[in-house]
């Protein structure tokens, strides 16, 4: 939708049906930005309005080999570790620095979610008898 709006505004700007100031207001950008968008539109046409990273994977993603290493560790030795402990193990022993939320997402996708907390099967509460002051 953003590119469609840009295309309409740039077409109107090229046909001199609106000014750069009006275009900037419509697109919610500065006039200087409109100048850059217009330049790109003139040079590349409609393709110039599309963001350059569209269709490319994120540069911040976890690489496939690291994901495979995490999966192998979860399957073999670290399946009973909670996510925070596993994150610390990865950093200290394997020099893999990964955020908690990313690690949680990987665990969820692999089907090895955060293990359940273990609570004692029986809890005994001892209440001392109440002594009267009479």
Asked if residue 43 belongs to a domain, the reply is yes
- The confidence score (pLDDT) of residue 128 equals 75
Residue 23: CB atoms within 10 A of its CB come to 21
Residue 96: CB atoms within 10 A of its CB come to 16
Domain that holds residue 89: 64-110
- The confidence score (pLDDT) of residue 134 equals 61
How many domains in the chain?
2
Asked if residue 133 belongs to a domain, the reply is no
| pLDDT higher than threshold 90 for residue 31 | yes
pTM greater than 0.75 (yes/no): no
- The confidence score (pLDDT) of residue 120 equals 62
Asked if residue 121 belongs to a domain, the reply is no
Structural tokens at position 101? 């939320």
């Amino acid at each position: 939708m953003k590119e469609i709006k840009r295309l309409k505004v740039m077409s109107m700007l090229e046909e001199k049906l609106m000014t750069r100031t009006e275009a900037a207001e419509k697109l919610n950008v500065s006039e200087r930005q409109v100048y850059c968008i217009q330049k790109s539109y003139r040079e590349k046409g409609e393709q110039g309005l599309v963001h350059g990273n569209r269709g490319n994977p994120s540069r911040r993603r976890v690489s496939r080999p690291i994901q495979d290493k995490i999966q192998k560790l979860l399957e073999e030795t670290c399946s009973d570790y909670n996510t925070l402990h596993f994150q610390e193990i990865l950093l200290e022993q394997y020099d893999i620095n990964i955020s908690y939320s990313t690690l949680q997402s990987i665990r969820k996708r692999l089907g090895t979610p955060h293990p359940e907390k273990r609570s004692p099967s029986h809890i005994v509460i001892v209440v001392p008898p109440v002594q009267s002051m009479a």
